[in-house]
């Protein structure tokens, strides 16, 4: 039919429209997402790190583990020690209870014998704590200082030796002083040395914490000497007695007051040698009744003098006739801590001399002379055995065994040795004073 309307033509579809009409678009749901280009790197994750950083972290944690293991071992060792000490204390307590239950409690100590070490230490500590604040420090300046205190009047009884008040003077007794002194020495009991217990101070110091030392102000007192001071020594038998000596040849005896910062002048004695030499060094006898002094070996002068505090007048100072040192100054005199009262002298002639009392006289013996190459400045004796320590200007420290008559050891330091002091508690410790090097 010519008049019929022609059928509409199918529209031509574009490529994109075709794909959208007949093919679904790719999406992540159906797994047809477009693949990224081959040359593009995958996205980095948040927990990814370099290999070097991971190795460093592992090494750090390994070190922490080792450190913790060491601490664990240390604390375990401390725990074992504490448990062993606790068990030891508990066993001692049980043993003491068993003894008390059986009626075998320890008997009180005999008053004639020295008390145990613990009791002696407690008795010493109590008065030291009570009088620590009251007892002043003694500071004796040179002649340039003018801050002085007037010397207190001399008390009636001499507070040093107990025999001072009862000792008669030559004018009041017909007995000769020499004979009287001989009788007193015969009647005098033999001196007993106090046995001290050895303490290992090095181990004790390692366990102690830091301690603050508090010092009290001192009191300046005129020395009453006209020239430079030489020595100051404390009395071993009475801690309130002090003796000083100076280049003026005077030996002065002082008493430190127990209450208040004061010191009293007790006596002054002219101790010049026959050749008018002053005492180079002084030392107390362990009994506290005699003061010994040493001089010089030049010109045939007397070398050792004794000042008896129980005697007054011209017989108070006597000189020993022996002259074992050959030349130079006698630098040091020191009593040995042994039962037989003897002392050592150290001289500029490189020698060390031992002096011993026998039958109201003093004999001498040369200990050594070839071990030091210069002046011997100090000497001291060990507490536990008959061994002496000598130090000298040759920078040497020498230990000499008197029984074997040989040197035990020799030590050399960097400076000149001026003096030596032994520790009263630890017998293996001693202190050496060295001379400071002069500036270049």
3-state secondary structure (DSSP) of residue 45: coil
Q: pTM for the whole thing?
A: 0.56
The DSSP string of 401-426 is ETTTTEEEEEEE-SS-EEEEEE-SS-
d(CA 327, CA 325): 6
Phi/psi of residue 399, each to 5°?
A: -105, 125
Spatial contact of 383 and 393, defined as CB atoms under 8 Å apart = no
Is the domain spanning 325-440 CATH 2.130.10.10? The answer is yes
Strands 361-368 and 376-381: unpaired
Return the CA Rg of the chain.
44
Q: What region, left, alpha or beta, does residue 217 occupy, with left being phi > 0 and alpha being psi -120 to 50 degrees?
A: beta
What pLDDT does residue 174 have? Answer: 40
For residue 292, which of 326, 341, 256 has the smallest C-alpha distance?
341
For residue 49 the two structure tokens come to: 């790190």
Cα–chain-centroid distance for residue 371? 27
Tell me how far CA of residue 241 lies from CA of 238, 258, 369, in angstroms: 6, 11, 35
- List the chain pLDDT tens, one digit each, 440 residues: 445 555 665 555 555 544 444 445 555 555 555 555 555 555 555 456 788 888 989 999 999 998 899 889 889 989 988 998 898 898 888 888 887 777 655 544 444 444 544 454 444 444 444 444 444 444 544 444 434 444 444 444 444 444 333 333 333 334 454 555 555 555 555 555 566 676 777 777 777 777 788 877 777 888 899 999 999 999 999 889 999 999 999 999 999 887 767 889 999 999 999 999 999 999 999 999 999 999 999 989 999 999 999 887 777 899 999 999 999 999 999 999 887 779 999 999 999 999 998 888 899 999 999 999 999 999 999 888 899 999 999 999 999 999 889 999 899 999 999 999 988 888 788 899 988 765 54
Strands (E), 147-262: 219-220, 229-234, 241-246, 250-256
What pLDDT does residue 191 have? Answer: 53
């Amino acid at each position: 039919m010519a008049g019929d309307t022609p059928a509409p033509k199918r529209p031509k579809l574009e490529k994109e429209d075709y794909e959208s009409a007949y093919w679904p678009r790719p999406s992540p749901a159906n797994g047809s997402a477009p693949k990224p280009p081959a040359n593009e790197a995958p996205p980095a994750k948040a927990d990814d790190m370099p290999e070097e950083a991971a190795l460093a972290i592992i090494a750090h944690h390994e070190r922490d583990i080792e450190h913790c293991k060491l601490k664990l071992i240390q604390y375990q060792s401390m725990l074992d020690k504490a448990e062993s000490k606790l068990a030891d204390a508990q066993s001692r307590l049980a043993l003491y209870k068993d003894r008390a239950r059986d009626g075998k409690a320890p008997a009180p100590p005999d008053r004639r014998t020295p008390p145990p070490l613990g009791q002696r230490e407690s008795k010493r500590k109590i008065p030291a704590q009570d009088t620590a604040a009251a007892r002043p420090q003694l500071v004796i300046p040179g002649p340039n200082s003018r801050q002085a205190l007037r010397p207190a009047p001399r008390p009636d009884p001499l507070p040093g030796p107990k025999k001072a008040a009862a000792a008669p003077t030559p004018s009041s007794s017909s007995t000769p002083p020499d004979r009287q002194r001989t009788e007193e020495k015969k009647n005098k009991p033999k001196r007993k040395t106090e046995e001290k217990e050895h303490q290992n101070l090095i181990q004790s110091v390692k366990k102690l914490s830091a301690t603050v030392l508090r010092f009290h102000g001192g009191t300046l007192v005129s020395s009453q000497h006209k020239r430079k001071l030489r020595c100051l020594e404390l009395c071993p038998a009475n801690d309130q007695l002090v003796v000083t000596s100076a280049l003026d040849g005077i030996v002065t005896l002082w008493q430190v007051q127990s209450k208040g910062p004061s010191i009293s002048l007790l006596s002054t004695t002219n101790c010049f040698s026959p050749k008018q030499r002053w005492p180079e060094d002084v030392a107390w006898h362990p009994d506290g009744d005699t003061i010994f002094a040493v001089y010089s070996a030049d010109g045939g002068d007397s070398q050792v003098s004794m000042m008896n505090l129980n005697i007054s007048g011209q017989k108070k100072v006597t000189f020993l006739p022996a002259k074992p040192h050959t030349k130079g100054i006698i630098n040091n005199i020191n009593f040995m801590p042994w039962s037989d009262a003897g002392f050592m002298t150290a001289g500029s002639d490189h020698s060390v001399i031992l002096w011993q009392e026998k039958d109201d006289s003093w004999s001498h013996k040369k200990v050594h002379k070839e071990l030091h190459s210069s002046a011997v400045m100090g000497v001291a004796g060990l507490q536990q055995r008959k061994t002496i320590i000598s130090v000298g200007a040759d920078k040497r420290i020498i230990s000499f065994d008197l029984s074997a008559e040989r040197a035990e050891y020799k030590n050399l330091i960097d400076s000149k040795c001026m003096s030596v002091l032994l520790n009263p508690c630890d017998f293996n410790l001693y202190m050496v004073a060295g001379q400071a090097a002069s500036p270049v």
